[in-house]
């Protein structure tokens, strides 16, 4: 399948490289190409200080100034994942929708192992599953 890896962080909206128990995952979301000019990518418009405005309701093309709403852009984005499964140990590549779903009680980007078909979640940093926390609390007592 050979996923296209980003050359730098400027090409990505999201990037992470995580260990998941005995497994690992590297995930990224490439910026959407401008549907009008197809020369550049859509980015958040800059504020007066020159930094991207994260709260802006639109994305803008640097070349042709084409604008598109956040919802439209984010619905078209794809999460690319290169992983080693924590369940079966197999390595693979897959894609998933760029949308957080609740997985084991935590908002996560969820993808499925191509070999054992178990779901794997990419959580925010330092988040632990609620099931594990309950087990740890009972061990401390």
Q: How does DSSP assign 85-108, residue by residue? A: -TTT--EEEEEEES--EEETTEEE
127 vs 72: CA distance, rounded Å: 29
pLDDT (0 to 100) of residue 119: 92
pTM of the shown model: 0.78
78 vs 97: CA distance, rounded Å: 5
The answer to whether the CB of 114 falls within 8 A of the CB of 121 is no
pLDDT (0 to 100) of residue 133: 47
Q: What is the pLDDT along the chain (141 residues), one digit of tens a residue?
A: 578 888 888 888 889 998 888 999 999 999 889 888 888 888 888 887 878 888 889 989 888 988 889 888 888 899 999 999 998 888 999 999 999 899 888 899 999 998 999 999 888 876 666 655 444 454 555
Pick from 128, 15, 22, 33: which is nearest to 82 by CA? 15
pLDDT (0 to 100) of residue 1: 52
Render the chain in DSSP notation, one character per residue.
--PPPPSSGGGEEEEEEEEETTEEEEEEEEPPBPTTTSSSBEEPPB-TTSSB-TT-SEEEETTT--EEEHHHHHHH-EEEEEEE-TTT--EEEEEEES--EEETTEEEEEEE-TTT--EEEEEPTT---HHHHHHHHHHH-
pLDDT (0 to 100) of residue 45: 86
């Amino acid at each position: 399948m050979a996923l296209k890896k980003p050359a730098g962080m400027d090409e990505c909206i999201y990037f992470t490289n995580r260990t998941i128990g005995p497994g690992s995952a590297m995930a990224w979301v490439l910026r959407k190409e401008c549907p009008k000019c197809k020369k550049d990518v859509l980015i958040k418009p800059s504020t007066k200080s020159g930094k991207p405005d994260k709260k802006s309701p639109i994305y803008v093309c640097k070349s042709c100034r084409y604008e598109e709403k956040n919802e439209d852009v984010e619905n078209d984005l794809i999460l690319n994942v290169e992983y080693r499964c924590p369940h079966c140990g197999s390595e693979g590549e897959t894609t998933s929708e760029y949308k957080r779903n609740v997985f084991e009680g935590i908002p996560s980007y969820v993808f499925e192992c191509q070999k054992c078909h178990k779901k794997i979640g990419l959580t925010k940093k330092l988040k632990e599953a609620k099931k594990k926390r309950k087990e740890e609390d009972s061990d401390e007592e």
